[in-house]
Amino acid sequence: MNAEFDLELRQDFLVEAGELLQRLGEQLVGLETSPRDSELLNAVFRAFHTVKGGAGFLALEPMVVLCHHAEDLLNEARNGNVTLGAGHMDALLEALDLLNVMMAAVSADAPLEMPPAALLASLLPRVAPPAAPVAAAAAVADGAPIDDSEFEALLDSMYGTAAPGTVAPALPVTAPAAGIDDDEFEALLDALHGKAGQAAPAAAPPAPTVAPEPVPPAARHAVAAENTVRVDTARLDVLVNHAGELVLVRNRLLSLAARDGSEALLTAAGELDRVADELQTAVMGMRMQPVGRLFQRFPRIVRDLARQLGKDVELVLEGEGTDLDRGLVEALADPLVHLLRNALDHGVEMPADRELGGKPRKGRICLSASQRGERIVISVSDDGRGMDPEVLRRKAVEKGVIDAAQAARLTESECYELIFRPGFSTAATVSDISGRGVGMDVVKTRVAELGGTLQVHSRWGHGSELELTVPLTLAVLRVLMVRVDTRLLALPLGNVEEVFELADGQDRMLDGRLVAQHRGRALPLADLAGWVGATAASGRHVVVLHVGHQRLGCLVHDVLGREDVIVKPLGPLFADVSGIAGATVTGDGRLALVMDLAGLAGGAGQLFTALQLAG
């Protein structure tokens, strides 16, 4: 086997086994709650067995040994000899953690160490199979069903992963020496479970006197049609970039066609518009991943933290099939972990306290995802104690986040927003989980960087909900195009609340700053003309922006409308220019600067302070 082929096999193993192990964390937590769920138990068993088979093919003996012992425990549970308890689940989760460590070592081409003896001892020893693998193989060849033990013995013999100290029997003539492929594996499953597409006959036909010719694995693969292909993400990104360039050309051509008025040109531009839209939709679809890939890691996190806090909590996942841009999947991992930790630590009460309050001892946290138009909404809700606005006011004053006069003017919803202020915390003591006054402000800033928003809803005594909204995709940015003097600025639409025209007498000076009376509140105003260095008088159109917990009305000369743009970097010469995410080309060929509002705000409001002073 040449080195290039060996590397390709290893990479395939890392991808496929990695996906199995990622799902396994959620499955094990579910199995701990429902240890007699046969479907879930079989799924966990198959995951360990599949990883063992791939590891055996690559001669990764420590992984084989660990999976082998996990199989022993799970097989005893499947046979009804063992009921999985907390100790068993701790051992299986520890085995999963160690497998992930081993996977990282394989990826780094580092040597693997054998599993600790204590971990192996916590798993049941392997039970000798009641039937020889050769007999099982003959049963498969004859079409007769085989039981679980015969099936496992046959797989072990084919993969070369028999129990230590035993000698794998010779393979039957119908089995290829190089192992079994996917189609053969499915055939074995069909034989085991009687799912060969028709009911098993009452009596099996007599075995042929001459062994049938083996079917080469390559021929089997030729019969099975491939409907998926693995593509490197770098190639996908190139395709996305080219599709984005086509969109810019489409916008330019549409603008020219509208000015020219030629019917032939308008027809051609319309056709290009349709094709470009379809291509862009298809390419964007290739970037999408189900949000369930992100959610899979959280049941284990909630389970471990709940045990650490001494709480009994059930995590409910909803909307796992909702598609999300792959760039957002990893970007949202840390913010969601913090929101879940916050719900566990601050939201859900201790079991005894819940019982005294007339609630079930077991708390409930729901993590859900849904699509609303071109936005993805992810919410973390709990049935805990909720938030008391008066407590939030008092804590904010005590920690110097705001003064007493400001606290008195806050509405109930504004009190909830205090949890996103830097340095704010309601924890009485500092621990490794909470109480340091950092985290929630970072979460909201991170969400804002993704063009998203984060809102809080709460009801004292009944629980809280934090709703996170992000764009459907990061590949194409939807912006509000505005004109400030002769300059075009693109404002991320995710940060735009509304647009209105400033009436005479609606603005006035308050504490040395320009504000507008809007919706019963004082809205700070800023003149973007001063920020971009324009000399024209202030515009009268107001774009209300929000970044983090702050709101600001920006004065512009004209609002041109919404547009989908591809943001292009300005290069290293402009790398240190704050507030500019990049540039894009408009439909009429002009250059527009795309503003980075979250970067300017910097989590501490420098943008808003600077713009208010400029106004």
Q: Is residue 452 pLDDT above 60, yes or no?
A: yes
Mean pLDDT of 255-261: 80
Q: Residue 579 — left, alpha, or beta (φ > 0 → left; ψ -120 to 50 → alpha)?
A: left
541-547/550-556 β-pairing: antiparallel
DSSP state of 43: H
Structure tokens at 204: 């099996």
Structure tokens at 589: 């060929």
Structure tokens at 80: 């009804």
pLDDT in tens, 358-416: 999 999 999 999 988 778 899 999 999 999 988 988 888 888 888 888 888 888 888 88
pLDDT at 168 (0 to 100): 38
SS3 501: strand
Element containing residue 293 per DSSP (H, E): helix 292-295
Which residue type, as a one-letter code, is found at position 356?
A: L
Cα–Cα distance list, 342 to 234, 318, 335, 491 (Å): 36, 19, 11, 32
pLDDT bucket at 163, cuts 50 / 70 / 90: very low
Distance from C-alpha of 71 to C-alpha of 500, rounded to nearest angstrom: 65
pLDDT in tens, 279-298: 888 887 888 888 988 898 89
Element containing residue 372 per DSSP (H, E): strand 363-372
Structure tokens at 194: 């009687």
Distance from C-alpha of 31 to C-alpha of 39, rounded to nearest angstrom: 10
φ/ψ (deg, to 5) at 113: -100, 150
Distance from C-alpha of 238 to C-alpha of 245, rounded to nearest angstrom: 11
Q: Calculate the CA 431 to chain-centre distance.
A: 27
Quick check: 485 and 538 in contact, CB under 8 A?
Answer: no
pLDDT at 101 (0 to 100): 92
Please count the residues of the chain: 615
pLDDT at 183 (0 to 100): 53
| Residues sharing a CB contact under 8 Å with residue 377, sequence separation 6 or more, in sequence order | 369, 370, 371, 467, 468, 469
Mean pLDDT of 254-278: 84
Quick check: 597 and 547 in contact, CB under 8 A?
Answer: yes
Mean pLDDT of 215-242: 63
- What residue ranges define each of the domains in the chain, with the CATH number in brackets? 3-205+218-223 (1.20.120.160), 234-288 (1.10.287), 291-471 (3.30.565.10), 477-614 (2.30.30.40)
pLDDT bucket at 598, cuts 50 / 70 / 90: low
Element containing residue 376 per DSSP (H, E): strand 375-382
Distance from C-alpha of 389 to C-alpha of 584, rounded to nearest angstrom: 43
Distance from C-alpha of 145 to C-alpha of 138, rounded to nearest angstrom: 10
Nearest to 466 by CA among 325, 366, 333, 570: 366
SS3 135: helix
Distance from C-alpha of 528 to C-alpha of 400, rounded to nearest angstrom: 31
Nearest to 469 by CA among 361, 368, 330: 368
pLDDT at 364 (0 to 100): 94
Mean pLDDT of 44-67: 90
H helical segments located in 85-201: 86-107, 117-121, 133-142, 148-159, 182-193
- Residue by residue, DSSP assigns 225-291 as PP------HHHHHHHHHHHHHHHHHHHHHHHHHHHH--HHHHHHHHHHHHHHHHHHHHHHHHHEEET
pLDDT at 148 (0 to 100): 56
Quick check: 501 and 541 in contact, CB under 8 A?
Answer: yes
Between residues 535 and 337, which one has the greater pLDDT?
A: 337
Between the ranges 157-171, 232-246, 369-383, where is the mean pLDDT highest?
A: 369-383
| The Cα angle at residue 65 between residues 59 and 69, in degrees rounded to 5 | 150
Q: List the end-to-end C-alpha distance of the chain, in Å, as a whole number.
A: 70
The percent of the chain in helix, strand and coil, each rounded to the nearest 5, is 50, 20, 35
Distance from C-alpha of 100 to C-alpha of 22, rounded to nearest angstrom: 9
Distance from C-alpha of 60 to C-alpha of 56, rounded to nearest angstrom: 6
